[in-house]
């Protein structure tokens, strides 16, 4: 790379950020950028720009992708709603906080005042949210630290169908409801966010839109199912012997005797794929409503959009369903940035990043000092030039001492018992062949293993176990 060209580009980029974040109005006051933060629950990497599943139709997410930089190798910090969101919002990785699984209440691990929204509020931002941003589908101030938000109403839960969908409707069970778009909470969450974007105020805004779909139940209006006739639905690429070269810990994580065995017995595998595609289509419609409001807004040229899915989702790959695993399907998600003055429309970045980058990147773009507790690194350089040099990797943790490292080409997994998996994505994008035992890849494995955390916070014991242990100790003392 020509050093002159590099430093020229950096100077132009820094000037652009300065001109953008410090727009001098007639009064001489600085104007900071707004943030529209779009969180989507259980959305895997089937969206259009990744090319992972061509049958998936996401015109509005594709429209968003065309507006900025889309990451094709982006990964969650944890493949479960609770720890993924706790780490992204706080900037603290699961192995440091001890928040590993959904059973770990995030407030026990993340102190009040450390979160991204809290930092922006302290620095003069109006902060508002609705929907699922942290690990609660109900949303509302009772589910978060109330001091960190100006507004956070609970989600709208009424519908005209006469009953709520069952937990597995559209999944193990067929769709049994006739729903309208407005019958689902996400419609009203988007309404709220659009309204708050339109309001005039003397502060920049940080608005988080927490879309609950495509989380189960996969109950959406039938018109979205009609987009995917069942006889045209294709199963995701898979192999029947895909678990043959996995260590015991990997087979246990796959759990082929669970959901996958049920789908093979019921013959509903295609139905479930159809349901997931339909539910993504409903999400995409709501993303379109947000983008319409954004593009009509007088604040459009001074508003950052960050779009992310909290983790991926398996639909039978490796005989596994849902998240809760360390393979590509469970960790890779959509990740799109639109930063006026910084990002170029319609660009892709294939550098490996994880969501610990969100907090420091937004701080840099907004001209805020990053808190000392952050464990990720800013990707502003990649937003400005997606092809720029990058030595980072994506780290995903699922449970205590189970980690995956993803670089530009390889995925390395190490389980708590020391067993390993290694996949070459250049030649094996669906991770069919475990290369961990192949001596030819020893150097690759060693290089990636160096990124596995050496210090891991012990998991918090469940409250019942704590109480039992305390009573046992008391009995011994007596």
Average pLDDT, the chain: 92
- What's the confidence (pLDDT) of residue 6? 37
- What's the confidence (pLDDT) of residue 5? 41
Region of poorest pLDDT, from 12-21, 182-191, 405-414:
12-21
List the catalytic residues.
81, 135
What token pair was written down for 325? 């695993």
Answer yes or no: are the C-beta atoms of 23 and 30 closer than 8 Å.
Answer: yes
User: Is residue 157 pLDDT above 80, yes or no?
Assistant: no
Neighbour tally for 12: CB within 10 Å = 11
| Three-class secondary structure assignment of 354-403 | EHHHHHHHHHHHHCCCCCCCCCCCCCHHHHHCCCCCCCCCEEEECCCCCE
What are the Cα distances from residue 324, in Å, to 94, 305, 314, 352, 389? 14, 28, 9, 20, 32
- What's the confidence (pLDDT) of residue 23? 42
- What's the confidence (pLDDT) of residue 472? 52
86 Cβ contact partners less than 8 Å away, ≥ 6 residues apart? 92, 94, 97, 99, 106, 109, 110, 134, 135
Range 376-381, long-range pairs (CB < 8 A, 24+ positions): 376/91, 379/353, 380/13, 380/17, 380/342, 381/10
Please give the DSSP secondary-structure letter assigned to residue 207.
E
The pLDDT-based confidence of 12 (bands split at 50, 70, 90) is very low
- What's the confidence (pLDDT) of residue 200? 94
What token pair was written down for 217? 């139940």
User: Is residue 448 pLDDT above 70, yes or no?
Assistant: yes
Q: How are the residues of the chain apportioned to helix, strand and coil, as percentages rounded to the nearest 5?
A: 35, 15, 50
CA torsion, ordered 219, 220, 224, 226, to nearest 10 deg: 50
Higher pLDDT, 16 or 152: 152
Largest separation between any pair of C-alpha atoms in the chain: 76
Q: Where are the domains of the chain?
A: 32-386
The pLDDT-based confidence of 464 (bands split at 50, 70, 90) is very low
Cβ burial 352-388 (10 Å sphere, 16+ → b, else e): bbbbbbbbbbbbbbbebebbeebbbbbbbbbbbbbeb
The β-bridge relationship of strands 34-40 and 205-211 is parallel
- What's the confidence (pLDDT) of residue 9? 44
- Three-class DSSP category at 468: helix
Average pLDDT over residues 294-321: 97
Neighbour tally for 303: CB within 10 Å = 20
Measured distance CA(389)–CA(135) in Å, rounded: 35
| Three-class secondary structure assignment of 107-122 | HHCCCCCCCHHHHHHH
- What's the confidence (pLDDT) of residue 156? 85
Question: Computed over its alpha carbons, how large is the radius of gyration of the chain?
Answer: 22
Q: Which CATH number is 32-386's, of 3.30.980.20, 3.30.420.250, 3.30.70.260, 3.40.720.10?
A: 3.40.720.10
pTM: 0.91
Structure confidence by residue, pLDDT tens digits, 196-212: 999 999 999 999 999 99
The pLDDT-based confidence of 17 (bands split at 50, 70, 90) is low
User: Is residue 470 pLDDT above 70, yes or no?
Assistant: no
Average pLDDT over residues 223-245: 98
Average pLDDT over residues 272-297: 98
Measured distance CA(117)–CA(119) in Å, rounded: 5
């Amino acid at each position: 790379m020509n050093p002159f060209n590099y430093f020229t580009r950096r100077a132009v980029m820094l000037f652009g950020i300065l001109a953008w974040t410090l727009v001098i109005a007639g009064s001489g006051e600085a104007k900071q950028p707004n943030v529209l933060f779009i969180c989507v629950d259980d959305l895997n990497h089937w969206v259009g720009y990744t090319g992972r599943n061509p049958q998936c139709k996401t015109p509005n997410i594709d429209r968003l992708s065309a507006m900025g930089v889309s990451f094709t190798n982006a990964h969650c910090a944890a493949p479960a709603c609770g720890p993924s969101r706790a780490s992204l919002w706080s900037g603290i990785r699961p192995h440091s906080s001890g928040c590993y699984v959904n059973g770990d209440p995030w407030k026990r691990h993340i102190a009040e005042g450390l979160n991204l929204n809290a930092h922006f509020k302290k620095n003069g931002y109006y902060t508002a949210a609705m929907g699922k941003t942290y690990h609660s589908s109900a949303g509302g101030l009772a589910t978060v630290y109330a001091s960190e938000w100006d507004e956070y109403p609970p989600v709208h839960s009424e519908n005209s169908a006469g009953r709520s969908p069952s937990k597995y409707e559209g999944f193990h069970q067929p769709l049994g409801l006739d729903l309208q778009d407005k019958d689902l909470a996400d419609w009203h969450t988007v309404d709220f966010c659009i309204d708050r974007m339109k309001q005039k105020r003397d502060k920049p805004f940080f608005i988080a839109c927490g879309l609950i779909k495509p989380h189960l139940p996969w109950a959406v209006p039938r018109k979205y199912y009609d987009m995917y006739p069942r006889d045209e639905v294709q199963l995701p690429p898979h192999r029947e012997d895909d678990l043959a070269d996995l260590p015991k810990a990997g087979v246990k994580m796959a759990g082929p005797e669970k959901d996958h065995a049920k789908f093979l017995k019921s013959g509903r595998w295609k139905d479930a794929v159809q349901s997931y595609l339909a539910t993504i289509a409903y999400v995409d419609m709501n993303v379109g409503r947000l983008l319409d409001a954004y593009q009509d807004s007088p604040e459009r040229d001074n508003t950052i959009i960050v779009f992310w899915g909290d983790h991926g989702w398996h639909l039978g790959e490796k005989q596994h369903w849902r998240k809760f695993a360390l393979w590509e399907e469970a960790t890779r998600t959509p990740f799109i940035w639109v930063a006026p003055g910084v990002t170029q429309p319609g660009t892709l970045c294939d550098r490996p990043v994880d969501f610990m980058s969100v907090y420091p990147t937004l701080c840099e773009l907004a001209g805020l000092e990053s808190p000392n507790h952050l464990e990720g690194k800013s990707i502003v350089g990649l937003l400005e030039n997606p092809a720029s040099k990058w030595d980072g990797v994506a780290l995903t943790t699922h449970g205590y001492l189970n980690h995956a490292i993803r670089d530009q080409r390889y995925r390395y997994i190490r389980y708590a018992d020391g067993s390993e998996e290694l996949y070459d994505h250049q030649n094996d994008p669906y991770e069919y062949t475990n290369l961990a035992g192949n001596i030819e890849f020893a150097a690759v494995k060693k290089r990636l293993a160096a990124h596995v955390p050496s210090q891991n916070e012990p998991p918090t014991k469940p409250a019942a176990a704590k109480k039992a242990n305390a009573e046992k100790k008391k009995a011994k003392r007596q």
